[in-house]
Chains A and B, each alone.
Chain A
């Protein structure tokens, strides 16, 4: 087990370093922040000064060397825009994203598993057809469109909910609901498919021959066996959300890491871009470990 974790950590660290290198140089291609932060008519001296402060004067590889040296000491640099440590800015935003993702994914997982299992129990029945119909729509509808329509209807039309921001519970309803739809549709389909296989398996026949009630047959005997592919998709979807629900966060003005990333790219705030990528990458690494552990916990045949 420890060996497995160590192997995982090493391989993830390697990918993270490669990612940092790529992002570091690619983000420099967006141009010189000086042009963005100083007025058009700023003097050459002022420009020189700005570059000096933010270390933009050195050749790229020297800048990179400095950055990596700082990084080993867990110094992620400062945000040019906000004049604060980049890591602090990112952590703040990431906590918002984490909450949003957690609330949404818990809801999605629960709803998709229960409804998907019930749909699988009577394949082709009315419940199955309705669930399949709506989940397919959910899985295929683009979220920017749903988000805008939701704002138009519930915020502008009825005036029930706020359009953006985070102040109260009401502020969370629209972003969570919009984020909910697509993973719900997708995971429900996977649960349904996986449960159909599990419910037609031999051990379910044994359970029926033992006199196990239908509900226990579905949720005790079949579900645990059907969960492996489901967990893979749940992990995949959750990872996407941790990465920042860029579209939804932007539309709803939600101060999460996805919005922060887009803003910092536009603002050429390199330190923040890099820090966000590293924080989310680390979170995704942790989540993948959790998923692997969940495999082992669900299926005794899987041992690391």
Chain B
């Protein structure tokens, strides 16, 4: 076999931090050939992005230090090249796109200019670059490319922004495209479009595509080969199908085992006692109608999932329920009363019954407060729940119930991992002995293994505390494993609702079918079959 296009050998990178050196990757070796799609799979902190950053010369030294290894591109070691030579390769021969296209595009320059820049700095004449930019925008599927080039990044949607990034990266037809979590921030249907676009462009140009991801589904959909990383080391590599069907390393086995969407669907007998009923609820922001008449019922002891893409109104529904915002119309009946018309005093009493767990525990927990303060604050606000003398014991009990220990009480949020922080947030919600907990994307920011643990915890607590959940999520496999009933929302309306089995096995509405079809299965074989079906549909 001829030598690989890009070849990383024995790469080790250390970051010198205030708390001493941290080895980010240890002796990592991988290579990629022309026309190949390689995925680097790993959870947060696994070091999956570090080697790509080293390829792109994006590691700041200090604090970073490349302690060993070589990176060969077409037989030349990038690490021994001078800066200027590497700059000629960056963007021209090896290009990169990133997870969050909004923050990775410069907000103050027109997108056309930013795409042209890639070409201009590598020697293309400005006028030629301008024409090429419009062709590129057209190629990546941006409507009205000439006008679009004159707009700024904030004037595009998330999916379009990632298309812009792709156009920028592909401007000079690079040999290698590195995509770092390119679809993580996007809705499932948009994710499917972007992956399809990447694949198409890869076939068209014959470039090598390196995808860095935490998502087995993305690997199954697009990758030829996969490198699995854990704690800075490669634990396993092989073809995507091989690794999924026959994982060798214990870590890979755990990772695949934790992938959501493979468990048993809940077939609990449906609760019949409604706890909460929304009737024709609407919400307008100026002229924009975020919710257009939503009716739904939450039953006693039930997990009701609300799914939909961004802008569907699922989070708005949650905010109205918690009265974080006022509804524009409709009623929310709880214990025979309309939540939307309660007096401030009645509202204060009601608040303890409906609690919320937010998406990002790093932001929803005050970093200056200890865990004890965070949890006991609820009793300060609602003093009739618990006499002060019992606070300490109850905090300890709550922490144990969510899988932490009493000793964690005096620590601050930053001393915990993401999953532990979400447990603290759950304990805080439980402190008020609520009847309903609204989980707004509560597990979306967590790694799959942690996600599985938190879901299990929520499931257990539901029975222990007699709770009902409203579970807002965009991730369908998680919903499939956890919910009893599902409500599908689109553009402020409910398009379909039913039991989890009905929605996942026999969706009636085209929108729901589209969502399910776009959601990725971790099994490469299933994913390959779906692609065939999709391609067949396209050719018809």
| Interface residues in chain A, defined as those with a beta carbon under 8 Å from any beta carbon in chain B | 201-203, 205-213, 216, 221, 224-225, 298-301
> Which residue of B95, B106, B117, B122 has the most chain A CB atoms within 10 A of its CB atom?
B106
Q: Which residue on A lies nearest to B88, using beta carbons? A: A211
Q: Is the CB of B152 within 8 A of A221?
A: no
Number of A-B contacts (CB under 8 A): 69
Whole-angstrom CA separation of A201 from B104 in the bound complex? 8
- A294 to chain B minimum Cβ distance, whole angstroms, is 13
Q: Is the CB of B106 within 8 A of A225?
A: yes
Whole-angstrom CA separation of A205 from B87 in the bound complex? 13
Q: Which residue on B lies nearest to A212, using beta carbons? A: B121
Q: Which of B69-109 contact A (CB under 8 A)?
A: 87-92, 95-96, 98, 100, 103-109
Whole-angstrom CA separation of A201 from B152 in the bound complex? 17
Q: Which residue on B lies nearest to A207, using beta carbons? A: B106
Encode B146-174 as 1/0 by CB contact (under 8 A) with A: 00000010100000000001001000000
Partner of B108, one of A207, A208, A216, A224: A224
Q: Is the CB of B90 within 8 A of A208?
A: yes
Whole-angstrom CA separation of A299 from B106 in the bound complex? 11
Cβ of B57 under 8 Å from chain A: yes
Give the total of B residues in contact with A, Cβ under 8 Å: 28
- B109 to chain A minimum Cβ distance, whole angstroms, is 8
| A298 neighbours in B (Cβ, 8 Å) | 108
Whole-angstrom CA separation of A210 from B93 in the bound complex? 10
Contacts beyond the supplied A211-B89, A225-B107, A300-B108: 13 A-B pairs with Cβ under 8 Å: A203-B107, A205-B58, A206-B104, A208-B56, A209-B58, A211-B88, A211-B118, A212-B117, A221-B106, A225-B108, A300-B152, A301-B107, A301-B152
Q: Is the CB of B90 within 8 A of A211?
A: yes
Q: Which of B54-76 contact A (CB under 8 A)?
A: 56-58
- Please list 7 pairs of residues, one from A and one from B, whose beta carbons are closer than 8 Å in the complex, sorted by A's number: A202-B100, A208-B57, A211-B91, A211-B121, A225-B106, A300-B154, A301-B154
| B121 neighbours in A (Cβ, 8 Å) | 210-213, 216
Known: A209-B90, A216-B121. A202 touches B104 (CB 8 A): yes
Q: Which residue on B lies nearest to A204, using beta carbons? A: B106
| A212 neighbours in B (Cβ, 8 Å) | 87, 91, 117, 121
Q: Which residue on A lies nearest to B93, using beta carbons? A: A211
Q: Is the CB of A203 within 8 A of B105?
A: yes
Whole-angstrom CA separation of A301 from B104 in the bound complex? 16
Q: Is the CB of A211 within 8 A of B87?
A: yes
| B154 neighbours in A (Cβ, 8 Å) | 300-301
| A301 neighbours in B (Cβ, 8 Å) | 107, 152, 154
Q: Is the CB of B107 within 8 A of A209?
A: no
Q: Is the CB of A211 within 8 A of B122?
A: yes
Q: Is the CB of B98 within 8 A of A205?
A: yes
Partner of B104, one of A205, A216, A299, A300: A205
Known: A211-B122, A213-B87, A300-B107. A206 touches B57 (CB 8 A): no
Known: A216-B121, A225-B108, A300-B152. A209 touches B56 (CB 8 A): yes
Whole-angstrom CA separation of A211 from B165 in the bound complex? 15
Whole-angstrom CA separation of A206 from B117 in the bound complex? 12
Q: Which residue on B lies nearest to A205, using beta carbons? A: B58
Q: Is the CB of A210 within 8 A of B117?
A: yes
